[in-house]
Amino acid sequence: MRKLIGLVKASHFGPTVLVVTIAFLLALSQFSVIRSLEIACAILAGQCVVGWTNDLLDYPLDLAAGRKKKPLVAGDISQSFLKTSIFIALIFALTLSLIGPLSFKGTSIHALGIASATAYNFGLKKTLVSLLPFVISFGAMPWAVYVAAGSTPPAWLYLGFIAFASAFHFLNVLKDLNWDISQGVLGLPQRLGKRKSIAIAACLVVGGLFDVAVR
């Protein structure tokens, strides 16, 4: 049970639930409830890969910062256990995508989203292009669903996904901004600073709301 709870925490539970819920609602616009649940399960497995990889790669930094709420730092799970879990989750993500409604085309786009988000964990988060994985990964979600259904998403939809996801990137780093800078994690928000990051996030949210409103 302790390991299970540790895996849930390491998946970045809140954001994961939000992404999976959005994916389910998006899928409902193109598929039945059952088929949408199948897509949501595939997205959930992919989100676990991303979240767990993040915690695994950030373990030295989390340990140095004394982040006791992190499962690896707290000793709830081990690095070897998390590595095995990541591999299993990746297999599930791709398999559930292939045998589910996403089929080959949708799975290819889903895999691109996972790869992009994982690249962020592997080092892009420390660079000027830290925003790029958010643009690619969240922009890919509506494409995966719509392409699997034999259509293309309207421009306002994937632009809205990109705007809100980008805003999240600028806001999410604020709580650890000073720690990140001291540990050499110098993504775009860290380089711009708190005030500029908040301003950009606000502009992105307003832009996203306008995009949805005038669709």
Q: Residue 119 falls within a domain, yes or no?
A: yes
The structure's pTM equals 0.93
Number of domains composing the chain: 1
For residue 119, give its domain range. 2-153
Task: Report the b/e string of 175-186 with b at 16+ CB within 10 A.
Answer: ebeebbeebebe
Q: What is the pLDDT of residues 49-75, one digit of tens each?
A: 999 999 999 999 999 888 888 999 999
User: Using CA atoms, how far apart are residues 44 and 185, in angstroms rounded to an integer?
Assistant: 27
| Band of residue 1 on the pLDDT scale cut at 50, 70, 90 | confident
Q: How many CB atoms lie within 10 A of CB 63?
A: 13
Which of 97, 211, 194 lies closest to 144 in space, CA to CA?
A: 97
Radius of gyration of the chain, Cα coordinates, nearest whole angstrom = 17
Q: Residue 161 falls within a domain, yes or no?
A: no
Residue 138 has pLDDT above 90, yes or no: yes
Q: Residue 181 falls within a domain, yes or no?
A: no
Q: What is the pLDDT of residues 155-176, one digit of tens each?
A: 999 999 999 999 999 999 998 8
pLDDT of residue 190: 95
Which of 158, 155, 56, 71 lies closest to 113 in space, CA to CA?
A: 158
Q: Residue 115 falls within a domain, yes or no?
A: yes
Q: Residue 200 falls within a domain, yes or no?
A: no
In the predicted model, what is the mean pLDDT of residues 70-84?
95
Residue 46 has pLDDT above 90, yes or no: yes
CATH code at 58? 1.10.357.140
Q: Residue 203 falls within a domain, yes or no?
A: no
User: Higher confidence at residue 201 or residue 2?
Assistant: 201
Residue 9 has pLDDT above 90, yes or no: yes
Q: Residue 169 falls within a domain, yes or no?
A: no
In the predicted model, what is the mean pLDDT of residues 28-57?
97
pLDDT of residue 206: 96
Q: Residue 56 falls within a domain, yes or no?
A: yes
In the predicted model, what is the mean pLDDT of residues 88-105?
96
